[in-house]
């Protein structure tokens, strides 16, 4: 089933954007692990809607209600189930899209697959709203990984054609990683923030939207994690990342640009530092042969522009099988990149913990 994932850490997600609640079931967490609920709520707030004019006006507190697997402040080791109740629903805003398919959304393929019985309100189960439970699961996995010295952090690499600096070009020993984890609009080059926000607001004013790229890094992971081929680090992470709505591309290390390099330049040469094996470059993003080499895992994720735009677009009426036009109403993000940062971090944490438990 598409709502289930995992070899060791097993996830099952459920719910619709305008249903009573959305939620997740997480199996095979270690027993007796104390959860920092304040830290979990901080992660939830990073993704939550309705915080400012850069996001949708829909307001949801996104407070997870844990139903099982958690007792007296610690995990029990049995399946941990949590729900997040939906409160700010305006389903009438979606009445016209019951039959008219929104370009760029899952409406038409969803209609075909589920024979017209899918919940279309707010995108139903296709909605980015379902990423809230993934952030919850990721927040738990982040805490477990942190005990082993592993940190996961991401930043906005680009909005439209405006580019931030890459982790690959930074001296990581001098980069203040912790500051990125607590920023609402995380950037390495802070002077880009106002320009990028203005780009988003400009798109909103035009009734349009913009996309961008998120760059994520896994620090502190040891060499030897992963497997060749089907359970490689890249394939495991990519599976989860491509499960996040609006993701259209993933590249590790230098990604597609590595194809422009000669082998002598793209190879990450080894050296010893204080008795530890390091590489002089990290063009392969910390992964060779599907297995970690001890360097930071670095990858980038392409996020498409929000498909819900206020400009009139061509479409079809699926009930009459006639061509028509559609002007979307309701509350929508002009850009989802900034809210997707904790989602990418979260699913990456789930994937890394799953890989570690398999090693």
pLDDT of the residue at 137: 98
Nearest to 341 by CA among 181, 165, 102: 181
- Cα–Cα distance between 215 and 165 in angstroms, integer? 10
Q: Quick count: other Cβ atoms within 10 Å of Cβ 289?
A: 13
Annotated binding-site residue? 334:
no
Annotated binding-site residue? 47:
yes
CATH number, position 290: 3.60.150.10
Nearest to 236 by CA among 345, 353, 127: 353
How many structural domains comprise the chain? 1
CA-to-CA dists, residue 358 to 7, 16, 139, 146, 353, angstroms: 8, 32, 20, 18, 9
Annotated binding-site residue? 123:
no
Model-wide pTM > 0.85: yes
For the chain, the maximum distance between any two Cα atoms, rounded to a whole number of angstroms, is 71
Annotated binding-site residue? 125:
yes
- Cα–Cα distance between 57 and 59 in angstroms, integer? 6
Give the end-to-end CA distance of the chain in Å, rounded to a whole number.
25
- Cα–Cα distance between 214 and 303 in angstroms, integer? 8
pLDDT of the residue at 61: 78
Annotated binding-site residue? 176:
no
Compute mean pLDDT per 10 residues along the chain, 359 residues long, and list them.
87 89 96 97 87 65 94 97 83 72 90 87 82 97 97 97 96 83 92 96 94 98 97 97 97 98 97 96 98 98 94 94 89 90 98 91
Listed in sequence order, the residues at least 6 apart from 26 whose beta carbon sits closer than 8 Å to its beta carbon are 9, 10, 11, 69, 79, 80, 81, 82, 137, 140
Annotated binding-site residue? 49:
no
CA-to-CA dists, residue 333 to 55, 90, 310, 336, angstroms: 4, 15, 11, 6
Annotated binding-site residue? 289:
yes
Annotated binding-site residue? 306:
yes
Annotated binding-site residue? 105:
no
What domain range includes position 37?
4-357
């Amino acid at each position: 089933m598409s709502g289930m994932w995992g070899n060791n850490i097993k996830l099952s997600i459920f719910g619709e954007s305008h249903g009573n609640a959305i939620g997740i079931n997480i199996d095979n967490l270690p027993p007796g692990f104390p959860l920092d609920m304040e830290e979990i709520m901080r992660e939830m707030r990073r993704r939550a809607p309705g915080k400012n004019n850069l996001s949708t006006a829909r307001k949801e507190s996104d407070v997870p209600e844990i139903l099982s697997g958690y007792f007296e402040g610690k995990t029990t080791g049995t399946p941990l189930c949590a729900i997040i109740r939906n409160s700010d629903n305006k389903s009438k805003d979606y009445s016209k899209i019951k039959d008219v398919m929104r370009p760029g959304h899952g409406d038409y393929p969803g209609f075909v697959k589920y024979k017209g019985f899918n919940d279309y309100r707010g995108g139903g189960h296709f909605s980015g709203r379902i990423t809230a439970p993934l952030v919850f699961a990721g927040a738990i996995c982040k805490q477990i990984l942190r005990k082993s010295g592993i940190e996961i952090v991401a930043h906005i690499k680009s909005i439209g054609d405006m580019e931030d600096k890459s982790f690959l070009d930074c001296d990581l020993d001098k980069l203040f990683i912790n500051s990125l984890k607590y920023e609402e609009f995380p950037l390495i080059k802070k002077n880009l923030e106002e320009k990028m926000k203005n780009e988003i607001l400009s798109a909103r004013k035009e009734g349009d939207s913009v996309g961008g790229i998120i760059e994520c890094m896994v620090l502190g992971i040891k060499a030897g994690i992963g497997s060749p081929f089907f359970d490689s680090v890249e394939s495991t992470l990519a599976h989860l990342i491509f499960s996040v709505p609006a993701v259209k591309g993933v590249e590790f290390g230098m990604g597609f640009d590595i194809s422009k390099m000669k082998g002598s330049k793209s190879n990450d040469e080894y050296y010893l530092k204080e008795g530890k094996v390091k590489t002089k470059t990290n063009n392969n993003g910390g992964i060779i042969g599907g297995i970690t080499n001890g360097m930071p895992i670095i990858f980038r994720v392409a996020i498409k522009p929000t498909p819900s735009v206020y400009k009139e677009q061509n479409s079809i009426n699926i009930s009459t099988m006639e061509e028509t036009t559609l002007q979307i109403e309701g509350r929508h993000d002009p850009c989802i990149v900034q809210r997707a940062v904790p989602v990418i971090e979260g699913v990456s944490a789930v994937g890394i913990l799953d890989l570690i438990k398999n090693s």
